[in-house]
Amino acid sequence: MAIETDDFLLPGHPLCAGCGLAITLKHITRLLGKRTVALIPPSCSGPLATENSYKISLPGIHIALTHGAAIAAGIKAGLEAKGLKDVTVLPLMGDGGTADIGLQALSGSAERNDDILYVCLDNEGYMNTGIQGSASTPIGAYTTTTPAGRNRPLGRDRPKKDVFRIVSDHDVPYAATACISYLSDFKRKIRKANSTEGFRYIHVLNPCPTGWGFSPDKTVEMGLLAVKTGMFILAESEHGRIRMTHVPVKRIPVKDYIKHQSRFRHLKDDQIREIQKLVDERFERYLRIQEREDDKRS
Amino acid sequence: MAFCRVLTGNQAISQGARLCRPQVIAIYPITPQSEIAETMAGFTAEGELDARIFRVESEHSALSIVIGAEVAGARAFTATSSNGLFYMHEMLHYASGLRLPIVMAVANRASPAPWNIWGDHSDSISQRDTGWLQVYVENCQEALDTVIQAYRIAEDRRVSLPIMVCLDGFTLTHVSEGVDIPPQDVVDEFLPPYDPEYSLSKLIERDETACFSPVIFPETSYMEYKYLQAKASERSKDVIREVDREFERKFNRKWGGLIENYHTDDADYILVTLGSLTTTARAVVDELREDGWSVGLIKLRFYRPFPEKELVDCLQDAKIVGVLDRNFSYGYAGAVYSDLSSAIDGRAEIVDFIGGLGGRELNEDHFRYMFRRLKELSTTRDQKRVEWIGLKMK
Ligand SMILES: Cc1ncc(C[n+]2csc(CCOP(=O)(O)OP(=O)(O)O)c2C)c(N)n1
Ligand code: SF4
């Protein structure tokens, strides 16, 4: 089938109503254009790449959960060996495939500075396989493998792994976090990544109505609240120098974010206060990193 | 111009790989394979080989990179051993299912625990059902030649399957022999550039979209894909024979294709071996034949595809057949014995000798013993079918 449309996420895709991932994919593929190879792992994007219904109109391959960055690097090298130097290789990994089982391949590739554009589509859990917990699930969230109970009242009891900072610390040319609720920031980062050579990492928060338990018309609002509370920090880095790209003037309480989502329903006030403290500390740590970088620059 | 050099098995593999002009290489070091990783890195550093080489953080990524390169349409090479091969396991199925003609050297080594870095075949044999063809080589020259043959076989469109070129850890990887290095132009004639029917680069060049290895459902075509893969593995037998014949015409050397038989026509007692121990076994066959014994030997080159027909033809008139398995399938017997028993289907008696595990020595005495046991067992009925050779306990 020849490419006939400018929209690369085709209509009739099987993602849930209100899925943040759908919005993200639409924008990323549109911004990158057709000299792009899409790598789709087992994840919520997986159903876009079925035998009789391939919903991304780009050359693609359904890959494994474990090796997103490595196979991407191989594809890039293979295409270059065949004389195709201008193709963007785009692994579209979930947060499970990134923060957990694919982290080693990701680190290896980032360290080598392979010329790929790695996107982590973060819905904060293993969603397509039944809402299990990942290292990217925030503290306090219920998932089917981090249920809250008498012996573990928080549900998930460890804070979200910060893969953006891990990748930045590999001194890669470009890394960023983004969210479709901040569309111009998101688009600028995709364009920046696309015009940069070497290893590029974009970590996108995709609000997930099904896994988080909110109404599908509130997807964009959830992204806004995640950033305004400081639960998710918008930042970027060039060669390890991290800077926040959006600092909320006055952060709103974490409670105003989590109250909309049934995954946090079990939390008591004192637990929410604990989480607020962790979020504050992490936010301040980012501000300090930013100040250090600003000092270096001035 | 062809020239002769003293090379270790690892260096011979590397020279063979260099001559095949892989475009992408990714190898993670592991004893006894590491010299291949080092030699290939040296070739690319010195410009003797124009390839992109990756320093990888694991074998899983090494094979993933090689898979990616081949899906893109480039020729690729890797090598590993034991733990590294096991670490690749997930990707082994991936490579064969995608029908990628990857060539990988496997420096055969035991499977810890207990920790052991010496040679046996339990690493590659335990990956039998991953869809890779497997060839076992006997000496350094065969190692070099087989890499070249392997790319021809794997890339033949009737096959399109990955191949492991297996060489014994230490007894081959670290043994030096005089090796003839064929001239590049003759290798180029024998092995044209890789040109797959489908690849990501072809899709891009034709401005088309499609998805490789999409999700496939039970009632659509998964079984059909697997059936075609099974057919291709079967068809590879013809291609292996053809390629060995053509190799002989070009390079004046042949290795027997699927198997090499030695004095099997008139033999009552035949031993089946894989890899470098064949050389010792052959010397013992010569010696025993001088003493008037009717003994013979089969070197099983390809374990997958399993050369059922050739083996039955050679073995069905023997009084008894022994298999030397440097592996064990726990709960039953050695793997080669099991496969051979099903192929022979009662047409000859078969005994399984388990030996050489974890690098345990097998010398002429052990082979004399095995032939003696075959003779003894051929006259008794209710024998034990699996015997461990060189065991230091009762
Ligand atoms: C090696 C391996 N282990 C387990 C699985 C099963 N599995 C498939 S997808 C998945 C979770 C994916 O989660 P994530 O990457 O976050 O993507 P999401 O479904 O949330 O989009 C798991 C565990 C697998 N495919 N491969
Ligand atoms: S589970 Fe969540 S991320 Fe997955 S398709 Fe549904 S809404 Fe989207």
Compare CB distances from A61 to B55, B213, B216 and report the shortest one's residue.
Answer: B213
Instruction: Assess B97–A contact: CB distance below 8 Å, yes or no.
Output: no
| Model pLDDT for residues A195-244, shown as the tens digit of each residue | 999 999 999 999 999 999 999 999 999 999 999 999 999 999 999 999 99
Task: Output the pLDDT for position B379.
Answer: 87
Arithmetic mean of pLDDT, A81-96: 98
Calpha distance B275→B258 (Å, rounded) = 13
Query: What ipTM was reported for this prediction?
Result: 0.97
Task: Output the pLDDT for position A89.
Answer: 98
Task: Output the pLDDT for position A75.
Answer: 98
Sort out which chain A residues have CB atoms less than 8 A from B56's CB and list them.
Answer: 70, 108
Sheet holding A36-40, edge to edge: A241-244, A235-238, A174-179, A200-205, A117-122, A88-94, A36-40, A60-62, B211-212
Arithmetic mean of pLDDT, B358-362: 98
| CA triple B186-B187-B192, angle to 5 deg | 110
| Model pLDDT for residues B264-290, shown as the tens digit of each residue | 999 999 999 999 999 999 999 999 999
Output the CA torsion sign for B249, B253, B255, B261.
positive
Task: Output the pLDDT for position A294.
Answer: 80
Our measurement of the distance from residue A100's CA atom to the centroid of its chain's CA atoms, rounded to an integer in Å, reads: 13
Arithmetic mean of pLDDT, B125-147: 98
Arithmetic mean of pLDDT, A52-68: 95
Arithmetic mean of pLDDT, A83-95: 98
Distance from the alpha carbon of residue A140 to the mean position of ligand 2, in angstroms: 20
Compare CB distances from B64 to A60, A74, A112 and report the shortest one's residue.
Answer: A74
Compare CB distances from B211 to A60, A84, A87 and report the shortest one's residue.
Answer: A60
User: Which residues line the pocket of ligand 2, CB cutoff 6 A?
Assistant: A 15-16, 19, 21, 44, 123, 127-128, 206, 208-211
- Residue B306: pLDDT over 90: yes
Task: Output the pLDDT for position A3.
Answer: 46
Calpha distance B205→A229 (Å, rounded) = 47
Which phi and psi (to 5°) does residue A235 adopt? -150, 170
Contacts of B224 (CB under 8 A, 6+ apart): none
Calpha distance B377→B384 (Å, rounded) = 9
Calpha distance B374→B383 (Å, rounded) = 11
- Residue B255: pLDDT over 70: yes
Calpha distance B71→B95 (Å, rounded) = 9
Polymer length in residues for chain A: 298
Residues B329 and B338: beta-carbon distance below 8 Å = yes
Instruction: Assess B280–A contact: CB distance below 8 Å, yes or no.
Output: no
Task: Output the pLDDT for position B384.
Answer: 63
Per-residue tokens: B336: 């080669």
Domain boundaries, chain A: 20-297
Instruction: Assess A148–B contact: CB distance below 8 Å, yes or no.
Output: no
User: Which residues line the pocket of ligand 1, CB cutoff 6 A?
Assistant: A 42-44, 65-66, 94-97, 101, 123, 125-129, 134
Percent residues over pLDDT 90 in chain B: 96
Calpha distance A206→B136 (Å, rounded) = 50
| Model pLDDT for residues A235-253, shown as the tens digit of each residue | 999 999 999 999 999 999 9
Distance from the alpha carbon of residue B350 to the mean position of ligand 1, in angstroms: 46
Nearest chain B residue to A3 by CA distance is B208
Q: Any bridge partners for residue B270, and if so which?
A: B296, B321
Q: Any bridge partners for residue A54, and if so which?
A: A49
Arithmetic mean of pLDDT, A253-275: 98
Count CB neighbours of B256 within 10 A: 20
Instruction: Assess A80–B contact: CB distance below 8 Å, yes or no.
Output: yes
pTM of the model: 0.97
- Residue A164: pLDDT over 60: yes
- Take atom 3 of ligand 1 and give the residue whose Cα is closest: A65
Sort out which chain B residues have CB atoms less than 8 A from A74's CB and list them.
Answer: 24, 26, 54, 64-72, 76
Please name each of the domains of chain B with its CATH number.
Answer: 3-251 (3.40.50.970), 260-388 (3.40.50.920)
**Ligand nearest, relative to CA of residue A219:** 2
Nearest to B18 by CA among B53, B49, B54: B49
Arithmetic mean of pLDDT, A70-77: 98
Fold of the CATH domain A20-297 = Rossmann fold (3.40.50)
Per-residue tokens: B229: 């893969």
Percent residues over pLDDT 70 in chain B: 98
Instruction: Assess A70–B contact: CB distance below 8 Å, yes or no.
Output: yes
Distance from the alpha carbon of residue B46 to the mean position of ligand 2, in angstroms: 50
CB spacing of A78 vs B204 below 8 angstroms: no
- Residue B394: pLDDT over 90: no
Task: Output the pLDDT for position A1.
Answer: 47
Task: Output the pLDDT for position B383.
Answer: 59
Query: pLDDT category, A11, cuts 50, 70, 90?
Result: confident
| Model pLDDT for residues B142-169, shown as the tens digit of each residue | 999 999 999 999 999 999 999 999 999 9
Arithmetic mean of pLDDT, B28-38: 98
CB spacing of A80 vs B68 below 8 angstroms: no
Percent residues over pLDDT 70 in chain A: 98
